[in-house]
Chains A and B, each alone.
Chain A
Amino acid sequence: AQKVTQAQTEISVVEKEDVTLDCVYETRDTTYYLFWYKQPPSGELVFLIRRNSFDEQNEISGRYSWNFQKSTSSFNFTITASQVVDSAVYFCALSDITGTASKLTFGTGTRLQVTL
């Protein structure tokens, strides 16, 4: 069975601080996808990134960066110079691509609070 663990329930930082959200996953699949989603206070789910299991290159998008380490089954997310607008719940998810279906297993989320 697949599992995603986000051990940090809540994180509070002051604006402009860097913050890293941890994600550890378990799967028996050799091919899989990892995702990060943002859920702002308005409630919708905003897709941030998808990474497949064969691509361990780190990715940077503006103030966001992702560190995928297969050896430790981790896919951590760092926000550099955090802003108040980054306040949200962030979910890490794992995709099962066996068979023909695409199903996501989500972590329990990390609530990030950025204050002035």
Chain B
Amino acid sequence: NAGVTQTPKFQVLKTGQSMTLQCAQDMNHEYMSWYRQDPGMGLRLIHYSVGAGITDQGEVPNGYNVSRSTTEDFPLRLLSAAPSQTSVYFCASSQRGNNEQFFGPGTRLTVL
């Protein structure tokens, strides 16, 4: 039982490049979310999903896309990276009816 896994752990991009941050969980959780953590701002919700095929926007969705084709995976796509997207990204999952969220180890992204 690996819990919530995220790849890569570190990534450096140039402005304008695109990439996908991977997130997977093996706990059969219905809910999955993406957060970004910036210094002095805590964690902010980017997108979330309540099940396969269903996604919705969080507080800071601009510049990011998500899809949820399976229960296990919830990738986050940066379409055209910008320096403002330099951050640490956390994926989380939780079970319906249980508000405890399990967090992945994070991906540290730098956009030059």
Give chain B residues whose Cβ lies under 8 Å from the Cβ of A101: 31, 48, 50, 56
* Residues in A lying within 8 Å of B, measured CB to CB: 4, 9, 33, 35, 37, 43-45, 47, 50, 91, 93, 95, 97, 100-109
B100 near A50: Cβ-Cβ < 8 Å: yes
Given contacts A91-B42, A108-B41, A109-B42, contact A102 B31 (CB under 8 A): yes
A95 to chain B, nearest CB (A): 5
Query: Measured between alpha carbons, how far is A105 from B60 in the docked complex, in Å?
Result: 12
Give chain A residues whose Cβ lies under 8 Å from the Cβ of B43: 91, 93, 104, 106
Some 18 contacts from A to B, beta carbons below 8 A apart, are A4-B42, A35-B101, A44-B103, A45-B103, A91-B43, A93-B43, A95-B99, A101-B31, A101-B56, A102-B99, A103-B45, A104-B33, A104-B43, A104-B45, A104-B92, A106-B42, A108-B41, A109-B42
Query: Measured between alpha carbons, how far is A50 from B99 in the docked complex, in Å?
Result: 8
B103 to chain A, nearest CB (A): 4
* Residues in B lying within 8 Å of A, measured CB to CB: 31, 33, 35, 40-45, 48, 50, 56, 58, 88, 90, 92, 94, 96, 99-103, 105-106
Grouping DSSP codes into helix (H, G, I), strand (E, B) and loop, the A interface class, with mixed when no group exceeds half, is: strand
Grouping DSSP codes into helix (H, G, I), strand (E, B) and loop, the B interface class, with mixed when no group exceeds half, is: strand
Given contacts A43-B88, A101-B48, contact A107 B42 (CB under 8 A): yes
Given contacts A33-B99, A95-B99, contact A45 B90 (CB under 8 A): yes
Closest 10 CB pairs of A and B: A106-B42, A45-B103, A106-B43, A108-B42, A33-B99, A95-B99, A102-B99, A100-B50, A101-B50, A102-B31
Query: Measured between alpha carbons, how far is A93 from B56 in the docked complex, in Å?
Result: 20
Give chain A residues whose Cβ lies under 8 Å from the Cβ of B35: 104, 106
A47 near B31: Cβ-Cβ < 8 Å: no
Give chain A residues whose Cβ lies under 8 Å from the Cβ of B99: 33, 35, 50, 95, 97, 102
A37 to chain B, nearest CB (A): 8
A103 near B58: Cβ-Cβ < 8 Å: yes
